[in-house]
A and B are shown apart, each in its own frame.
Chain A
């Protein structure tokens, strides 16, 4: 009641438009009250003590806002009530604040403290609403406060508050994009949240703030897929759309084989029959050729196997087709359309057809999408043809869209039904729709040769229709159809010529004139007569008709000048004095061109060619063709134009990126660590805020964390062998990044200090005392603050580094740093021993923290075993970095049988063919890289110049060391170069461009897993101990790092020598000398992270054998087993 009265008062007060807004109390209102006094009554009410009065006042104010009236002058009076106890008053005040705070920033600040108090309230609803309002008032000054509040709320107990935090992220981002980095951290944290309530909102935030950071999704991918069905509807839409994009970057095209083979053959032929005579042009052939070559390439490739994660997504979204929410159904439909194998896409048709019974707006959008889909996948909707029949009650825009779909679905078998249906449409009252129908008939006729004549005859019948619009539209369509085969239809042209007497619609008249002019030789008697009639009426015609008359005159003049010379002159003269300058210009131009004068230029010779050239028939295409490069269901697709913020749907990758990035560690651990993390975050919060106040939190934070993660990857590789080594290098790189210019000596000294400082601090995650925890986290945050501060905190660096590793940053590291590390590693052996113990503990920690993609930790958990191995490896490593030529592998590795792969075929390379092989030599500039020998052969007739690598597109963490540019490669010559690639221990391909002076070729190198490792020398004892340790270290995780497979050796392969030969060919490993000839052992480590790889093959009776691979990296292990298995059994 009160609300209604408020509104009515309001209305009563200002029912006349333009009357100023006065108070609502009749006593204070009136014409005489001056402007500054308005709203005085409201102010009074707001100042009163009674909640009911306040409420009443607020209700009136909200009613004013709702009608778009300005209520900003009440700001001071309203803002006072922000702390009001009455919850409804409070809510309405919030509404007011959110509306006007932007305009009155200073006053809005008064309310901030209330919200800050609200953020601490025990009631989650109040906490959430405080955060909502705080983040909704767009006042730039409070950005730091907002940031702090969001961070805090992101670790709130209540999922509802966390959801609100997720909602607040895009708000803050739009207010201050500088905060992006901090916000990404919060997003990352919230992405890990396991409640369905949060999932949708945080993905929404992700989409608005950092849609490009697809790497953040890896870890949460499976969780999101599994939660999806329980997420609220709106969240489902956002998540599904995001996952569509994700899947496009991470999985292979399920239609890869099909699409290439089929479209090259079957489907093309089908389309070919549709438009038999007109479109078989050059382009098409070229395309086919390309496809053929691709198809052959495909045959060589392995058969496609769908990634289980890809399958998971498809499986988990399918039930949502049954959602009551049209947006969800559409989202799933587009996901299937873009991601599913062809055979499975059909399931969406039924659901989409169901949506067509919804509100007309929904129909409109769905039909747009169906129209696009039906071009690509016609078969999918064919069974539902009748659902697209048009009802007289449909709005015109729906009718037109349905018509579009029906036209797309038309084929030889159903065309007669469709045409019958179309005929009834022509009788409709809705003239726009009739016009569209005639157009549609025209399109059917062009696409389906069988019915062309029928359609043409039908359309000719329409020419006698009483409705002029129908006739006009038919003329236009007939014109297009006739262009396809004019010879056979001179009678139709004659018939149309007669129509010029009756038809008044300019477009139709123009079309007829054009037709007669174009095909005047088919109607030699009628054409001049038409021109005669037209010349008579010329002055009264519309402009487009006039232009066509001139056109007709010119053409007739060229073909039949005897009869039409005078007429043409006359028409041109009339046109010369026309009001429209276009027509005057055209007349002048044509006169010059066709009438031979003594001055006429060179062009008049070609006049015939100009006017009577054979014109290609127009292609009547669906306006929805090629729209599917926009993600279906999106606004951009609907408008066929890129809307702001549209994320392009990427193309499928050539080779699937490493699927292991989505692996998640054992849940138990995740839980404890995330709890731990949360604790840490909480603890360091006050610290954060301070630092933010002082200095911009972004830049320095970045660099610090980068180096930290970088050093991890570096250190990881050494750790595997040495343990003691890496720590030092960490510090080194850390400090190096801090003060790049510092001299070596000083560094050394500092290192010693660091060591001392660290020693007494026992660190292990398993038993952190709470105080220490806090301390640690404080330290952790330090390097992010700024380089100026971190300088003084030497002793924290290593800790910060270890905790940093939790944040699965992409491991990017500049090369200099690695090099620097190497240098220090080599130069400082004496400082190793004291740090050993420390190191081990740290590694335990990292073992938990690293995921598969991160460099793996060393196997050395058990102290005594560690010593000899590490020392041996240390020497190795030292050797590596000093001499570049470590263990002379030649003795172990069978050389000569290196497999070469083709990088660029002679034909595609236009004479330049490129092959590569993995040379299995250490790559001297950087030992973490795999050396790839590339051999260029120039079989062209001319020389190739400046061969070089450009524009490498690498997965995160991957690096490439290009070979020096080859200046000239003369024809017929061959040259070899070596380049280094750091594959990050994954078999993902390195993509880059190979450039010559004229061309660029996209090429990619994909390493077999066996090339990702390098041999190490080991004794049998060492081998056994390592193997044992690898098993022990992960204790309960048994099986994670040992893979055993039984196999039967191929006949030729029985015998020790053959086994050794085959294994070493398959993988770059060295044989471990061993007593028994029944057992062959091999050892190696991965190139990038240096994780140990141990392989043993135990042969038994009659060819039976057991293959065991131990490796911390499960993926590598699994793939290696497969490869070796293959090598041994084939």
Chain B
């Protein structure tokens, strides 16, 4: 399975290595660097690179490449999924997963990797178990440790390792018993220039933060479970009850976890909450182009659009822009040709717009592409699909917990194409 792991930063330095079997020379990464050089963008490095004696499987997260060295057949997703789990664990432990954080906590990182893999095969990947084995570093603890000489490492085998609920440790105690659920939906859409939807789908997750004493057994039911087209669960959810009653029944892990992710099928018509009108023209022979962009809310069920951010990759011929936003700030990077406009909140009475001119490279031919416009936004207190939690019940414990549910909608990969479709080739001829 996983032979070795190398962590490579964006400038191509290996800043951490760990071997689970015999040592593999770090020169094996040269193949990786080669591929990295060939790739135009950082994310274009192929995840699987065969070398004469090994296979390199890598993931890119937080601008760090996690490069696993494999020697024989293994499902590539197995490795990729594990590497992502490693990143998640680091994030969980250190708050961020940056090169600096990893370097600062190199010993904890090493201890974690040691626990997570044995002989290249995953051993303990549940964050609850790991946290019992290796305490996450907090400022208080590090101070105490330096004074008393005590350690981060637990002495007992975590109970979860052996129990039927491996994701939860026993003996959890809280004074305030709380359970919060965030229903977050993301809308992915491709919209063509005329405003008609090409594809749109909603994906949602329910993230939970559960701080409950003892071994609570929760059930969560929905008003309209039929909306959920395709779901994937945290291992704690009892699949049978979902199949039979469409009820989420589970013993929650302690702390933060993702309970459920779901998909709302595209067959249900998705209401697009925002519209964009844009008109970008380049005149042949002229070194000026015109840029006009207006956006406004649409079917938001009375909720306001917040944190709206527009970004667009302008054609290479554009040298600079001179635009006027009616609100917010805009920025154009002449090197990457990336235009971004932080609109902020949309006021339905006064629609935000961005207008102005672009200067083009002299002599360059007219760019033929109308750029794609990516939109980000948030809608608080609303789940676009209309999913509603009906009730949350707790069994198995006596106390009464505090429960909270929050809804939010975000734009995922939401883009408007600059091109009107179906004009170029007439398919009827």
Contacts and interface: CB of A to CB of B under 8 A. Distances in A.
A365 interface: yes
A164 B131 CA distance: 20
B261 A324 contact: yes
A454 B47 contact: no
A7 B153 contact: no
Contact of A324 (B46, B75, B233): B233
A357 B151 contact: no
B73 A324 contact: no
A433 to B, nearest CB: 11
Contacts of B258: 324
A204 B121 contact: yes
A1128 interface: no
A397 B316 CA distance: 22
B75 A635 contact: yes
Contact of A458 (B122, B162, B424): B424
B43 A95 contact: no
A293 interface: no
Interface string B335-374: 0000000000000000000000000000001001100101
Contact of A392 (B72, B121, B313): B313
A415 to B, nearest CB: 9
Given A3-B105, A395-B43, A424-B419, A160 B77 contact: no
Contact of B109 (A66, A234, A453): A66
Given A423-B425, A466-B368, A638 B104 contact: no
B425 A67 contact: no
Nearest to A630: B73
A68 B239 contact: no
A237 B78 CA distance: 8
A266 interface: no
Given A391-B190, A424-B419, A644-B72, A4 B77 contact: no
Contact of A171 (B75, B103, B119, B162): B119
B82 interface: yes
A457 B425 contact: yes
Contacts of A123: 156-157
Contacts of B16: 66-67
B77 A457 contact: no
Interface string B386-429: 00000000000000000000000000010101010110110101
Contacts of A11: 103
Contact of A3 (B21, B107, B188, B266): B107
B151 A423 contact: no
A544 interface: no
Q: Which among B103, B109, B125, B422 has the highest number of chain A CB atoms within 10 Å?
A: B103
Contacts of A258: none
Given A164-B118, A638-B48, A88 B429 contact: no
A396 B425 contact: no
Interface in A609-639: 633-636, 638-639
Given A125-B157, A365-B77, A635-B48, A1 B110 contact: no
Interface stretch (B139-147, B298-306, B324-332): B139-147
A321 to B, nearest CB: 8
Nearest to A100: B23
A643 B72 contact: yes
Nearest to A167: B118
Interface in B79-125: 80-82, 84, 103-111, 114, 118-119, 121-123, 125
B263 interface: yes
Interface string A160-172: 1000100110110
A429 B313 contact: yes
A167 B121 contact: yes
Interface in A328-355: 329-331, 350-351, 353-354
B114 A95 contact: yes
B225 to A, nearest CB: 14
B216 interface: no
A129 to B, nearest CB: 10
Given A357-B203, A457-B425, A1 B155 contact: no
Contact of B166 (A91, A102, A232, A453): A232
Interface string B257-279: 01001010010000000000000
B425 A458 contact: yes
Interface string B228-245: 011111110001000100
A55 B71 CA distance: 34
Contact of B107 (A62, A416, A429): A62
Given A327-B78, A427-B368, A419 B425 contact: yes
Nearest to B142: A1
A2 B104 contact: no
B368 A393 contact: no
A634 B105 CA distance: 34
A822 interface: no
B47 A354 contact: no
A285 interface: no
B19 interface: yes
Interface string A382-393: 000011010111
Contacts of A171: 21, 119
A229 B242 CA distance: 15
Contacts of B17: 66-68
Contacts of B152: 88
A1018 to B, nearest CB: 53
A280 to B, nearest CB: 28
A59 B372 CA distance: 51
Contacts of B427: 416, 419-420, 451, 454
A635 B239 contact: no
Given A67-B16, A359-B80, A639-B48, A634 B75 contact: yes
B188 to A, nearest CB: 8
A6 B137 CA distance: 15
B268 to A, nearest CB: 14
A636 B73 contact: yes
Given A4-B105, A66-B17, A393 B374 contact: yes
Nearest to B148: A52
Q: Which among B153, B233, B258, B313 has the highest number of chain A CB atoms within 10 Å?
A: B153
Contacts of A67: 15-17
A234 B121 contact: yes
B222 to A, nearest CB: 16
Given A365-B76, A647-B73, A132 B199 contact: no
Nearest to A351: B230
Contacts of B75: 237, 241, 327, 330-331, 633-635
A55 B152 CA distance: 11
B175 interface: no
A643 B73 contact: yes
B47 A364 contact: yes
B11 interface: no
B214 to A, nearest CB: 22
B422 A420 contact: yes
B156 to A, nearest CB: 6
Nearest to B200: A386
Contacts of B142: 1-3
A87 interface: yes
Contacts of A2: 142, 145-146
Nearest to A127: B157
A319 interface: yes
Contacts of B23: 99, 102
19 contacts: A3-B137, A52-B146, A55-B149, A62-B106, A95-B110, A128-B157, A159-B162, A201-B121, A232-B122, A234-B125, A324-B261, A327-B81, A351-B230, A357-B263, A391-B415, A396-B41, A429-B315, A454-B429, A645-B72
Closest 9 CB pairs of A and B: A645-B72, A88-B151, A52-B149, A1-B142, A125-B157, A646-B73, A234-B122, A3-B107, A4-B104
Given A3-B104, A324-B258, 17 more contacts: A2-B146, A7-B103, A7-B107, A62-B106, A62-B110, A229-B239, A237-B75, A324-B235, A331-B75, A365-B76, A389-B190, A423-B422, A429-B315, A451-B427, A453-B429, A643-B55, A644-B72
